[in-house]
Amino acid sequence: MKARQAVPQSPGAAPGPEPTTGPLTFEELQLAARNRGMPLEALRYDLTPTGLHHLLVHFDIPWIDRAAWRLRVGGNVRNQLVLGLDELRRRPRRTLAVTFECAGNGRARLSPRPISQPWLNEAVSTAEWTGTPLVGLLEEAGLGPETVELVFTGADHGVEKGYEHDYGRSLSVAEATRADVLLAYEMNGRLLEPQHGFPLRLLIPGWYGMTHVKWLSRIDAVTAPFDGYQQRVAYLYRRDAADPGEPVTRMQPRALLLPPGFPDFLTRQRTVDAGAVLVRGRAWSGYGAIARVEFGVDGQWVDASLDPPAGPFAWRAWSAPWDPRPGHHVLSCRATDATGRCQPTEAPWNVQGMGNNLVQEVEVTVR
């Protein structure tokens, strides 16, 4: 057996590579070739087809034997629970359309660029998730009164910045017992695909992706805040190495537009024929309903029309008419939510490149 002592067992976190303004590194290419975004033309769909849903896997997709797999609920509870997939499927069922985004979406548009999965704008999708509400299971388990958090552990295992661990995240009791938090076993009406967490994942509408723990194997009630790597080190907004940071939680507002016209293979620059077009897109926020979307052409903004909301946790469709004049143009859009949060025109830099909701820009040439 290989010595495991070489790898620290507590999340002290070895320093990672320095941010860079240079070309894409080999490490970023390795990550980008495994993980993928939603092609922006898929903004057409209310529900992203499963094969077009964005994907982010920190380690390897674990192999899980359906018959042998169990979810264990333990820790500070009165009744430990051990449940198979069929038992979970017999419990109360709820389906929700949920938009979620990787917290690193926009990272590659930062300067200098933190070295990790190099997302541009495309790490977002919406699916219909079916599962059983977590709160019912927690009531059955009976949380001990000193419980402060629930820890959710996946079956995947690896090393990150020198710290070896099973992927795990925690939630406060208040957040975990919200009625809309699901243990999901179906995505768009079918059992989860291996890459999306088969057989079970956590789904907490409104939050960035890292909290939706895939390949769920354990839920533990704990009496002290969880200090696993993915909780205490990985998902923080930190201004610099000395900053203890703020946890990354809910999604910042963002609007995206479906690039009009057709692309150049290599540069992705767009060509559009002159003549009126309706530019369409989607907008979402984890803090509140989308209240406004603006559409910009060369820095001139107009209000877009909003479609009726498709549900409390799904992105909202918008559209804006555009009468393109021949020449080169930059199209953009920006969302404001019911809490007044909006998108910046300068990227909000932080050490790990989290939550960069800088407005999208699409370059087009009208002919």
Ligand X SMILES: Nc1nc2c(c(=O)[nH]1)N[C@H]1C(S)=C(S)[C@@H](COP(=O)(O)O)O[C@H]1N2
Please report, as ranges, the residues that interact with Mo ion according to CB under 5 A. Answer: 56, 102, 209-210
Q: Least separation, in Å, of the C-beta of 170 and Mo ion? A: 16
178-197 binders of ligand X (CB under 6 A): 196
Strand partners, 284: 254
The reply to whether 318 sits near ligand X by the rule CB under 6 A is no
Question: What is the spatial distance between Cα 286 and Cα 141, in angstroms, rounded to a whole number?
Answer: 29
State which residue, 59 or 269, has the beta carbon closest to ligand X.
59
Question: What is the spatial distance between Cα 219 and Cα 134, in angstroms, rounded to a whole number?
Answer: 10
67-106 binders of ligand X (CB under 6 A): 102
Residue 158: both structure tokens together: 């690896």
Question: What is the spatial distance between Cα 258 and Cα 81, in angstroms, rounded to a whole number?
Answer: 46
CA-closest candidate to residue 99, choices 131, 124, 134: 124
The reply to whether 270 sits near ligand X by the rule CB under 6 A is no
Residue 150: both structure tokens together: 């629930």
212, 203 contact by CB (below 8 A): yes
The reply to whether 54 sits near ligand X by the rule CB under 6 A is yes
Question: What is the spatial distance between Cα 171 and Cα 151, in angstroms, rounded to a whole number?
Answer: 7
In the set 119, 129, 167, 313, which binds ligand X (CB under 6 A)? Answer: 167
In the set 55, 96, 251, 359, which binds ligand X (CB under 6 A)? Answer: 55
Q: Least separation, in Å, of the C-beta of 58 and ligand X? A: 3
State which residue, 199 or 355, has the beta carbon closest to Mo ion.
355
- What is residue 93's three-state secondary structure? coil
Q: Which does 248 bind (CB under 5 to 8 A by kind): ligand X, Mo ion, none?
A: none
The reply to whether 210 sits near ligand X by the rule CB under 6 A is yes
Question: What is the spatial distance between Cα 261 and Cα 265, in angstroms, rounded to a whole number?
Answer: 13
In the set 71, 96, 176, 213, which binds ligand X (CB under 6 A)? Answer: 213
Q: Least separation, in Å, of the C-beta of 125 and ligand X? A: 6
Contact window for ligand X (CB under 6 A) among 135-143, 207-215, 280-288, 340-348: 207-215
In the set 56, 97, 181, 293, which binds ligand X (CB under 6 A)? Answer: 56
290, 316 contact by CB (below 8 A): yes
Q: Least separation, in Å, of the C-beta of 229 and Mo ion? A: 14
Q: Least separation, in Å, of the C-beta of 6 and Mo ion? A: 27
* Residues whose CB is less than 8 angstroms from the CB of residue 170 and which lie 6 or more positions away in sequence, other chains included: 149, 150, 151, 152, 222, 225, 226, 228, 231
Peptide bond into 312 cis (omega under 30): no
Residues that bind ligand X (CB under 6 A): 53-58, 102, 154, 156, 167, 196, 209-210, 212-215
